[in-house]
């Protein structure tokens, strides 16, 4: 990690409380963006070119436990991960930012994901958010969520939003030092809002989001229009969520997702995360909507489809999508298949 990142972390922790706890624990939900983040104005501090807005996936996400040890040891879902893997190296590099503050030469990291890792279901978002919460617990820092959001952002941009349940807004920020780019929860509660996960594959995607994002920014002729388009979508979504205008939320989120993927496919070489089954599901959703069902979709950087609908249409959705897993972002764990 760079000196800039070390200085950024040092500044945030300057006024933190400090403790010497034996174990640190953190738990964070995954999130799906209704207005996507795709492109950075600063690679080092993970500062986005546009703001974004997400909704959490209930109890789908990550639990992490930390202990101080002599050298880094990582367990994912109970399995020891080789330190030679890209996954372990990236995690260890992130932890370098916090060793001095935690008085830890190494960390034992035990993390549990109940969503597929690196399959377009935002596992890195919940992973780094849970890790930062565990660091906050281990170090006794007692930092507010806004500052924890900025720390999580250094590991994965979308992790900034996984510090919150329900709707979360990640501010683009204007300052070069990253001190005004953070996420916060929106006040709106929407008890009838539902997300349906159509899991088409557990496989790790061939191009990680970080690499795919940079390729799109550097080579896609469509990208020049993306930040302005996303900013307008963000404004529309904020107003629609405040009004609980489901049609506008659904229309805007679906159009935003499909435009992001069109922008990726225009990159050189083209970046296409869709499977044939992804396209089939998009067609299915659009056909059902044409028949009068208020149903929309969104897709992050991967092939898996997320449905957006309301509780009144649950039975119809379950009949149309027999394998759907339904999430209630504003209540107890509602995830189940038909």
Higher pLDDT, 120 or 285: 285
What's the pLDDT at 208? 86
Which of 34, 36, 41 is CA-nearest to residue 51? 36
Q: What is the pLDDT of residues 258-294, one digit of tens each?
A: 999 999 999 999 999 999 999 999 999 999 999 999 9
What's the pLDDT at 201? 86
CB atoms within 10 A of CB 73: 16
The fraction of the chain above a pLDDT of 70, given in percent, is 96
pLDDT-derived band at 304 (thresholds 50, 70, 90) equals very high
Q: Which of helix, strand or coil describes residue 194?
A: strand
Residue 107 is inside which H or E element, if any? strand 106-113
pLDDT of 43 over the 60 cut? yes
The fraction of the chain above a pLDDT of 90, given in percent, is 87
Angle at CA of residue 182, ends 308 and 137, nearest 5°: 95
Q: What is the pLDDT of residues 140-179, one digit of tens each?
A: 999 999 999 999 999 999 999 999 999 999 999 999 999 9
Q: What is the pLDDT of residues 217-268, one digit of tens each?
A: 999 999 999 999 999 999 999 999 999 999 999 999 999 999 999 999 999 9
What's the pLDDT at 120? 45
How does strand 73-76 pair with strand 106-113?
A: parallel
* Phi, psi of 87, rounded to the nearest 5 degrees: -60, -50
User: How far apart (Å, rounded) are the C-alpha atoms in residues 206 and 302?
Assistant: 9
- Global pTM reads 0.93
What's the pLDDT at 122? 55
Query: Mean of the per-residue pLDDT values for the chain?
Result: 93
pLDDT-derived band at 15 (thresholds 50, 70, 90) equals confident
Q: What is the pLDDT of residues 18-34, one digit of tens each?
A: 887 999 999 999 999 99
What's the pLDDT at 338? 28
What's the pLDDT at 116? 62
Average pLDDT for residues 118-136, to the nearest whole number? 83
User: How far apart (Å, rounded) are the C-alpha atoms in residues 51 and 38?
Assistant: 10
What's the pLDDT at 20? 77
Higher pLDDT, 133 or 18: 133
What's the pLDDT at 127? 95
Q: Sign of the C-alpha dihedral, residues 74, 115, 217, 151? A: negative
The residue behind tokens 């056909």 is 287
Angle at CA of residue 229, ends 180 and 53, nearest 5°: 50
Q: How many residues does the chain have?
A: 338
Average pLDDT for residues 93-116, to the nearest whole number? 93
Question: Who contacts 128 (Cβ-Cβ below 8 Å, separation ≥6)?
Answer: 94, 152, 155, 156, 159, 162
What's the pLDDT at 1? 72
pLDDT-derived band at 117 (thresholds 50, 70, 90) equals low
pLDDT-derived band at 207 (thresholds 50, 70, 90) equals confident
CA distances 180 to 147, 172, 263, 277, Å, are: 10, 8, 27, 40
Which of 291, 286, 290, 319 is CA-nearest to residue 305? 286
Q: Which of helix, strand or coil describes residue 193?
A: strand
User: How far apart (Å, rounded) are the C-alpha atoms in residues 76 and 87?
Assistant: 10
Question: Who contacts 5 (Cβ-Cβ below 8 Å, separation ≥6)?
Answer: 44, 45, 97, 154
User: How far apart (Å, rounded) are the C-alpha atoms in residues 237 and 245?
Assistant: 9
Question: Who contacts 312 (Cβ-Cβ below 8 Å, separation ≥6)?
Answer: 192
User: How far apart (Å, rounded) are the C-alpha atoms in residues 130 and 180?
Assistant: 21
What's the pLDDT at 335? 38
User: How far apart (Å, rounded) are the C-alpha atoms in residues 111 and 102?
Assistant: 18
Higher pLDDT, 205 or 5: 5
* Tokens coding 94: 């992130």
Question: Who contacts 294 (Cβ-Cβ below 8 Å, separation ≥6)?
Answer: 246, 247, 250, 309, 310, 313
């Amino acid at each position: 990690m760079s000196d800039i990142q070390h200085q950024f972390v040092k500044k945030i922790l300057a006024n933190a409380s400090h403790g010497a706890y034996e174990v640190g624990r953190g738990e964070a939900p995954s999130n799906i963006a209704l207005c996507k983040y795709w492109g950075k104005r600063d690679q080092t501090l993970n500062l986005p070119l546009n703001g974004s807005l997400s909704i959490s996936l209930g109890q789908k996400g990550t639990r992490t436990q930390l202990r101080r040890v002599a050298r880094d040891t990582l367990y994912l879902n109970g399995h020891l991960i080789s330190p030679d893997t890209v996954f372990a190296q990236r995690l260890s590099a992130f932890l370098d930012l916090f060793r001095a503050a935690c008085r830890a030469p190494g960390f034992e990291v035990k993390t549990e994901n109940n969503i597929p890792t690196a399959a377009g279901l935002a596992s890195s978002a919940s992973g780094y958010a849970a890790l930062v919460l565990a660091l906050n617990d281990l170090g006794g820092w007692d930092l507010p969520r806004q500052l924890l959001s900025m720390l999580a952002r250094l590991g994965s941009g979308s992790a900034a939003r996984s510090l919150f349940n329900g709707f979360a807004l990640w501010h683009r920020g204007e300052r070069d030092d990253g001190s005004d780019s953070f996420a916060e929860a929106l006040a709106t509660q929407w008890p009838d809002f539902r997300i349906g996960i159509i899991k088409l594959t557990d496989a790790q995607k061939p191009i990680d989001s970080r690499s795919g994002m940079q390729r799109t920014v550097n080579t896609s002729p469509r990208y020049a229009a993306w930040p302005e388009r996303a900013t307008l979508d963000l404004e529309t979504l904020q107003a629609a969520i405040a009004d609980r205008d489901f049609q506008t939320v659904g229309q805007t989120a679906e159009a935003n997702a499909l435009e992001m993927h069109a922008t990726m496919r225009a990159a050189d070489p083209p970046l296409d995360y869709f499977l044939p089954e992804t396209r089939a599901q998009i067609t299915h959703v659009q056909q059902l909507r044409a028949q009068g069902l208020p149903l929309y979709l969104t897709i992050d950087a991967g092939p898996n489809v997320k449905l957006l609908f309301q509780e009144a249409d649950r039975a119809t959705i379950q009949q149309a999508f027999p394998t759907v897993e339904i999430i209630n972002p504003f209540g107890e764990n509602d995830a189940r298949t038909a």
